[in-house]
Structure formats: structure tokens, C-alpha cells
Amino acid sequence: MRKRGLPFVAAVALAVAAPFALSGCGTEGELQSAGATPTAVGPVRLWPGLPPATAPPLDYGETDTESVPGIDVPGNDVRRVDAVAVVEAEVRAHPDTYSGADGMYQETARQISRCAEEPAKCPVMRPYYRDLTGNGRDELIVGITMPDQQVGVRVYLAENGGLTRIMSTVDQVISVELAGRDLIVRAASAGIPGYEYRTAWSWDEQQGAMLPTRDEIVRVKPVGPSASPAPEPRLVKPSAEPPPPGSSPTPAPAPSASDDPFVEPS
């Protein structure tokens, strides 16, 4: 009987001692109240009686895609494609288009047609490559300088041995950045000193295009008489004629952070 009683006595002793042991640590390390928690407020719909829209909003062409005529992509490898030849093919396909996704200034179109003879004046900048669609292959990112500090940014997807343009935009670009699979365009804000537009373009599987999924106006410096004027964007043009399609690509030198509007992907 004593053998069964010993554990019982020990258990009672531990049970009695436990509160004292716990109270002994008192305020050491115990949780402290952060005060009252504000009540969560959900979204409230204003004017719930508004009728549903009967017509869609204006189409700005964000979902427009187009195959580039006459461009072959061996092995669906965009690094084997001449970026200048791609833009030239689009200009030839739309010679009289000056607005929209295919819009091109006449002056810019003339310069593009002479890129082979005058590479230093070619408005097609160094191409970049990044998998923006998640298909495991790089897409081709092209920048085109235009008058009035405008920059055209276009993205091309290689598929079935051809090339499809999946994004096109033109703006007074300050810089273009890659963040994961997003292409972020920073542009000057008209009429709002000290602010800029930032648009994140992301691949949309359903539309088969890059869409502006996030568009915001961001303050970049204090507004006031002491604020210095925003620096002018500096753009770099190719210094030599790009290699012909099908040739082995050679790594381009790393751009200087001070004069290249694109951020080199890591």
C-alpha cells in the first residue's frame, strides 16, 4: 500500500507547490497589455442604389497583343532575336500609325530605319531579358527613345517559333525597374511637383498580356521653394550595331547606374 501511496503524496505536494512556483516568477517575462484594440471597420459601400454599368469604360489598349510579322525565334529563345529588327518589323507593319500601342513618331520611325547605317543615333536601346510570364523562358524587354523625353517600353513573348508583343506603353519615363516578375515604370507627374507616377505591369494569364495591375502617384521629395528641380532622365543608346539574328549572343557590358534607365536583373 505504501508503494501506491508515495506517488499520490508526491503528486499532492507538487500540486500544492505549483501555484507558489508560478506566483514566484510574478511579473518576470509575463505578457503585458497593449491597451484596447480598435474595432475593425470593414469596407462600406456608398450609394448602393447605383445601377450597374451598361457600357464598359474606355479601352486604353492594355490587353492588346500582336504577333510581330517576319520575326522567327529559334528555340523560342529571345536572346537570339535582334531587338532593332523587331521594332523595324513593327514600324513596317504600321507605317501610318501615330497613336496607341503601335504609335511611333515620324522622326523616330526614320531613325529606326537607319539604325544599321547610324547605330549611334538608333533610338532602340539595349534590350533586357527576364521571365515575366512564369513560363520558364525569358521575355524580351525593349526601350525606344522618342521626342519630348518620351520613352516607349515594349515586352515580347516567344511562342511557337514566333514573337508576340504582350505590352506597349509610352510615357515621360524616369526609370524602368524589374521587381520579381513585375515591370515597374516610373514616370514624371504632370502638374504635381515632387510627385511621380509608378505603374507596375504584371502578366495576366487570362488575358495573355501584361496589365497595369498597380498604378499610383508617389511623393518623391518635399514640395517647396527649397526643393531642387527633378533631374532630367538620361538615356543610353547602343554604341554599335547589334549582332544579326541567329548569331551567338555576347554578354553586354553592365550599365552604369548613373546613366542607364533600366536596372540590371540579378
pLDDT over threshold 60, residue 25 = no
d(CA 237, CA 32): 60
Mean pLDDT of the chain: 78
Residue 98: the pLDDT is: 64
Q: What is the pLDDT of residues 64-117, one digit of tens each?
A: 889 999 999 999 999 999 999 999 999 998 877 666 667 788 899 999 999 999
Residue 10: the pLDDT is: 46
- Model's pTM, two decimal places? 0.67
Average pLDDT estimate for 25-53:
79
Q: What is the pLDDT of residues 155-201, one digit of tens each?
A: 999 999 999 999 999 999 999 999 999 999 999 987 788 899 999 99
Angle at 85 between CA 84 and CA 90, to 5 degrees: 100
Q: Domain extents for the chain?
A: 66-219
Asked if 99 and 123 count as a contact pair (C-beta separation under 8 A), the reply is no
When pLDDT is cut at 50, 70 and 90, the band that residue 243 belongs to is very low
Average pLDDT estimate for 13-20:
47
Residue 124: the pLDDT is: 97
pLDDT over threshold 90, residue 203 = yes
pLDDT over threshold 80, residue 209 = yes
